[in-house]
């Protein structure tokens, strides 16, 4: 499920858009604290932003430029201030698209779908598992966190898959080894530990810490 962050100070419009987008299976986060838009963005880690231009405290141009210092997340302006200069300034600030209010919601969804396809085409229609903002695409052997992408080895992918499929539980070492190697010959248990530690270090490279927990003598969990 893609996550959309909606930055709209008209509550009636925001709630109507949220309801419609969620009917299309988009998780929609409505910003309520317009002083802390950057902080909310960093906490929520959305896949796309819908941004009004005229906002309390700072306008959409300002927040677009601030977000662009940290992320390439797609940003679409949705505004009635539709003169050419505002559109040019929005694009100069880092926006990917501009749609004019009043907006036909079905057109908005079509634009969102097109922008998501262009942005995240590397995963196509591949299903993913998600936990704590980490998305794992098993067929691609790929992790996405924020706007960062990480490639895994086959063994690292197998480890992460079984852990994410059993999130909130401890997966016993024997079960993990069976899933990893699917063989009758003996494998030193240290091999599993080495693979788990390599995976942890890779996750830390993209800012994901303490993701895999160890239950000493039993196994691992997330």
Which value, in Å, is the radius of gyration of the alpha carbons in the chain?
A: 21
Which residues are paired to 134 by β-bridges? 131, 145
52 contacts 27 by C-beta, under 8 angstroms:
no
CA distance 96 to 88: 11
> Which has the higher per-residue pLDDT, 184 or 76?
76
Report whether pLDDT(21) > 90: yes
pLDDT at residue number 122: 54
CA distance 192 to 214: 12
pLDDT at residue number 182: 61
| Model confidence pLDDT, tens digit, residues 160-202 | 989 998 988 999 988 888 777 665 445 567 788 888 999 999 9
pLDDT at residue number 180: 73
Report whether pLDDT(217) > 90: no
pLDDT at residue number 150: 87
User: Does the predicted model carry a pTM greater than 0.75?
Assistant: no
pLDDT at residue number 125: 46
| Model confidence pLDDT, tens digit, residues 96-115 | 999 988 888 999 999 999 99
CA distance 69 to 63: 10
Q: With bands split at pLDDT 50, 70 and 90, how would you rate the model's confidence at 7?
A: very high
pLDDT at residue number 19: 94
Average pLDDT, the chain: 86
| Model confidence pLDDT, tens digit, residues 46-55 | 899 999 999 9
pLDDT at residue number 183: 52
| Model confidence pLDDT, tens digit, residues 115-159 | 998 887 654 445 678 888 888 888 788 888 876 888 888 888 889
């Amino acid at each position: 499920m893609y996550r959309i962050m909606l930055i709209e100070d008209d509550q009636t419009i925001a709630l109507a858009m949220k309801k419609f987008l969620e009917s299309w299976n988009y998780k929609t986060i409505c910003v309520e604290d317009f002083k802390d838009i950057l902080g909310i963005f960093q906490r929520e880690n959305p896949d796309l932003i819908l941004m009004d231009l005229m906002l309390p405290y700072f306008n959409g141009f300002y927040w677009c430029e601030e977000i662009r210092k940290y992320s390439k997340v797609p940003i679409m302006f949705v505004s009635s201030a539709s003169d050419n200069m505002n559109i040019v300034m929005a694009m100069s600030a880092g926006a990917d698209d501009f749609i004019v209010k009043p907006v036909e919601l079905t057109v908005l969804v079509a634009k969102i779908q097109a922008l998501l396809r262009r942005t995240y085409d590397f995963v196509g229609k591949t299903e993913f598992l998600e936990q704590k903002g980490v998305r794992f695409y098993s067929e691609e052997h790929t992790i996405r966190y924020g706007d960062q992408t990480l490639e895994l080895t086959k063994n690292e992918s197998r480890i992460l898959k079984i852990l994410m499929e059993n999130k909130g539980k401890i997966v016993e070492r024997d079960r993990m080894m069976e899933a990893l190697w699917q063989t009758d010959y003996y494998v030193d248990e240290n091999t599993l530990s080495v693979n788990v530690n390599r995976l942890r270090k890779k996750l830390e490279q993209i800012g994901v810490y303490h993701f895999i927990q160890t239950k000493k003598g039993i196994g691992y969990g997330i």
